[in-house]
Amino acid sequence: MHVTNPETRKQCSHNSCLELGIHSQMNSRLKDLDHVVSQTTVLKPLPSVVSERKGTCDLSSHLIQKMSMVVRWVVYEPGILNFSWKAPYTRGSSPVFVFVWIMSYLSLTLILSRLPLPRPPLLKPITALHNLVLLLLSLLILIGSSLCLLTHTPSLWWSICIPPHTPPTGPLFFWAYIFYLSKFLELLDTLFIILSRSSRRLSFLHVYHHATVILMSYLWLHSSQSLFPIALITNASVHLLMYSYYFLSALGFRPSWKRAVTDCQILQFLFSFAVSILMLRLHFSSGCSGMWAWSFNALFNASLLALFLDFHLKNYATASLKTHKHS
């Protein structure tokens, strides 16, 4: 993290010093990107590309200056900046806690799905409120984690490979922790599906995903797992789209982009595997943190990719073939 010179700190206000640090971090990120480009291509960049990159730098600096209040709130707020995951003292950091929650979720889902539960009269507005909360939470996680990478982490390479023995502390891990806690709130999705008596939506994919993602996000924090920042940002983006769709559906609308939600989920997993190749190269050259947790995460993502492809095939590809036959 950028450290301001003590002499400079005395001569400027807290706000201006913070903006100075943010600008410095942005310049450092751009130098990192220039280094990556120079190392990965033989051709020299065209003058127009260089000019465009400088223009992007100026625009980025201007935007960061305007967003300094947001950065201060989601990155440099003391409770966020000084966050530390310490098992078993941090709430939800015990393996027993995770195990009990997952087993309770699976047991209750099995029991409640077999009971003739009445449909609550206010189920739709409650479901809409639930989806709105998760929509806003996904947006907040997306903004917070993205700004952490841009203004606080030592390098953008942290998004792919976290150095070995890195403790789970600081704002990036704070947003991973909020993401982890949000997975427990998402378990209410299953309850609302059961109460709505929509047996078709209560699929193996739904229950398996909701149960296992808790363990996945727990391992992010427990092991300081490499590649989790990429997964955090892409997953929050997909959930922002997904819960926007669910929120509008609960209000009685039928958005035309239902298929886009599934497509984005599939693309998320494909992108994760593509970036994993780069992460493995970095790991075998200098080492990356949390590789055993990444192995579990890779297997989990592979199983989800297979299930989502099957869902896509049954719900969209088959329907498309039927439409062509009738036309």
CB 289 within 8 A of CB 163: yes
The percentage of the chain sitting over the pLDDT mark of 70, rounded to a whole number, equals 76
130 part of the active site: no
Backbone dihedral angles phi then psi of residue 169, each to the nearest 5 degrees: -130, 155
| pLDDT of residue 19 exceeding 60 | no
Domain layout of the chain by residue ranges: 6-66, 95-326
Q: What angle do CA 86, 89, 91 make, to 5 degrees?
A: 100
Q: Indicate whether 28 pLDDT > 90.
A: no
Token couple for 248: 């509008």
Q: DSSP 3-state helix, strand, coil percentages of the chain (rounded to 5)?
A: 75, 0, 25
d(CA 166, CA 182): 24
277: region left, alpha or beta (phi > 0 left; psi from -120 to 50 alpha): alpha
Band of residue 62 on the pLDDT scale cut at 50, 70, 90: low
pLDDT in tens, 235-271: 999 999 999 999 999 998 988 888 999 999 999 999 9
What is the per-residue pLDDT for 316? 82
pLDDT at 25: 59
148-174: per-residue pLDDT in tens? 999 899 989 999 999 999 999 999 999
- Is pLDDT at 21 greater than 60 in this prediction? no
Q: What pTM was computed for the model?
A: 0.81
Say which of 130, 152, 209, 222 is annotated catalytic: 209
Collapsing DSSP states into helix, strand and coil, what is residue 84?
Answer: strand
Residue 35 confidence (pLDDT) above 90: no
H helix intervals, the chain: 6-11, 14-40, 47-66, 68-74, 78-81, 95-112, 123-151, 171-185, 188-195, 204-223, 228-250, 258-286, 291-312, 318-326
Mean pLDDT of the chain: 83
